[in-house]
Amino acid sequence: MIKNDLFLKALKGETVERPPVWMMRQAGRYLPDFMKLKEKYDFFTRCQTPELATEITVMPIDQIGTDAAILFSDILVIPQAMNIDVEMRAGVGPWLPDPIRTVKDLDRVVVPDVSDALSYVMEAIDMTKKVLDDRVPLIGFAGSPWTILCYCVQGQGSKNFDKAKEFCFTQPEAAHDLLQRITDTTIAYLKEKVKHGVNAVQVFDSWGGMLSPVDYQEFSFQYIQQIIDALKPLTEVIVFGKGCWFALQEMSRSGASALGVDWTCSARNARYLTGGDITLQGNFDPSRLLSPPATIKKMVKEMIDEFGKDKYVVNLGHGILPNIPVENAQAFVDAVKEYA
């Protein structure tokens, strides 16, 4: 039994004494102990070494006391497993030396046996579950197929993912072939994570907001829907689409347990668009964690008041920034725990 099950209760829509709190990218760059490991080991070594992934995952539970842990990993382990090279370059971020640009390029893309190709992730889950000892739930995650395609085609991060969109709009059959392969891999990957003990999964559609509402349905959400349909019988599914407020109504009918909201969509609008009946997660502006702790606490209380304490998970509207002082992250968490 999970000792602190506030997060799971909120996902199920149950009444809670206070909402649960965790932060996207909470196992990361704002923690001094993480930076020490970063100096010693490169990014994918940290992802691929179960002992390191476990240590990083548990850090924020021990140090700032969030109500859920999220496994330290990366959305780009999926393309790596699919035989697409991914590097992490200093000052650049993700770098794919051989991006997918043509139908011919798809010849080298495989749908892998995830239990083999991503066994290091499953080992990290097994190890993390032991160290957590049922103190809090563990979240597994994956990128949305569209977001993964963006990197696979663009070859790196981008302000507009123009090459990815060009690929979809000029070679739609190839695009849908790639999206389906990513979807099949992602479903198998998340199912394997559930088998190894994660208590919920989150799908990150980081670049969904790059698409128009019509294109979003065609190139992103229909594939997310496949993931929800496959995972819903097994676990709680959270969907977070950055910049995707326009799809919240559709998302609310998808069968997901909860929907993430970014900071550009107010609590009132999010509740209105989703019909007021689904658990929402978010939506504190990550940059607002640079405010003084007293201001953070005041704003968090106001945010909870606006969303309501039930059917709500307190979180940021995107990942925590690397330059956030630890005491400010602590103030964010403490404000939720002190909520009355």
Pairing of strands 236-241, 93-95: unpaired
Is 268 among the annotated ligand-binding positions?
no
Q: Which helix (H) or strand (E) holds 305?
A: helix 293-307
Q: Is 151 annotated as a binding residue?
A: yes
CB 19 within 8 A of CB 339: yes
Compute CA distances 50 → 82, 84, 124, 126, 324, whole Å.
20, 22, 4, 9, 26
240 is in an annotated binding site: no
28 is in an annotated binding site: yes
Closest CA to 257 of 226, 273, 275, 281: 281
- Contact criterion met (CB below 8 Å) for 62 and 132: no
44 is in an annotated binding site: yes
Q: What are phi and psi of 243, to 5 degrees?
A: 75, 15
- In sequence order, what are the beta bridge partners of 203? 142, 239
Query: Residue 253, annotated ligand binder?
Result: no
Q: Residue 301 is encoded by which pair of tokens?
A: 């209380």
C-alpha R_g of the chain: 19
Complete DSSP assignment for 59-88: HHHHHT--S-EE----TTHHHHHTT---EE
Closest CA relative to residue 25, chosen from 119, 123, 141: 141
CA 219 to chain centre: 19
Binding residues for substrate: 25-29, 44, 74, 151, 206, 318
Binding residues: 25-29, 44, 74, 151, 206, 318
